[in-house]
Structure 1
Amino acid sequence: MSHSEEEASFFERERDRLSREITSGFEELLSSSNGLNRKLEEVLGMTKEYDTIAALWRSFFELMRNSGNADADADDMDGAQGGLPGTGTHVVAARQSQGAARSD
C-alpha cells in the first residue's frame, strides 16, 4: 500500500505543480493583455489629437486660400496681376515690368 500511496502523492504533487504553472501563465497573459490595452488606448488618444491638429491646419489653409482669392479679385478689379507671396499667385515679373516702364 505504501507504494500506491507514494504514486498518488506524486500524482497529486505534479498536478498541483502544473496547476500553479498554468495559473502563473494566465496571470502573465492577463498582465500582458492589460498592458496591450493601455498602449492601444494611448494610440487611439493620439490619433484623436492629430485629428484636432489636422482640422486646425485645414481651417488655416482654407482661410489662406480664400484670402488669396479675395486679394486676386481685388487686384483683377484694379487691372494689376498679383497675389499673396508664397501662395503661388504672386507674379513678380509683372511688377518688375511696371517698375521698369515707370523709370523710362
Structure 2
Amino acid sequence: MSVSAPPDQPSFFDQEISRLTLEIAMGFEELLTNNNLLNRKLEEVSGMKKEFATIADLWESFHEVMRDLKPEIDLREGEGVPGTGGHIVATRGSTS
C-alpha cells in the first residue's frame, strides 16, 4: 500500500519548495524596498548637511568680519548709540 499523489498534482515536497521559494522571493522584495527607502533617507540627510554647511560658512564669515571690525562710533557727550533710543537726530531747518 503505497500512498502517492495523482500524476497531475505536484507532490508535497514540490509544493513546499514552491511555497518556500515564493516566501524567499517576497522577503527579498521587502528587503529591496527597505534598502531603497534607507538610501533615499541617507541622501536627504546628506543634502541637509550640505545646506547647513553653506549657512555655517556664512555665519563664520560674518563672525570674522565682526571680530575684525573695530568700533568706530564716536560718542560725544549727551549722545547715545544709534538704534538704542538714546540717539538724537537733528533735522534740517529746525530752530531751537
Fold match (TM-score > 0.5): yes
Structure number with the higher helix fraction is 1
Give 2:30's aligned residue: 28
How far apart in 1 are the matches of 2:34 and 2:4?
Answer: 42
Q: What does residue 67 of structure 1 align with?
A: 69
Shift of 1:2: 6.8
Give per-residue Cα distances to partners, 1:67-102, cap 9 Å, x unaligned. Answer: 13xx37x98xxxxxxxxxxxxxxxxxxxxxxxxxxx
Q: CA RMSD in A?
A: 2.5
- Of residues 41, 44, 58 in structure 1, which corresponds to 2:43? 41
1:3 is paired with a residue whose SS is coil
Letter of the structure 1 residue corresponding to residue 60 of structure 2: R
Q: How many residues align?
A: 72
Detail structure 1 runs of 4+ shifted over 4 Å in the superposition: none
TM, length-normalised to structure 1: 0.60
For normalisation by structure 2, the TM-score amounts to: 0.65
Q: Which runs of 5+ in 1 are unaligned?
A: 76-104
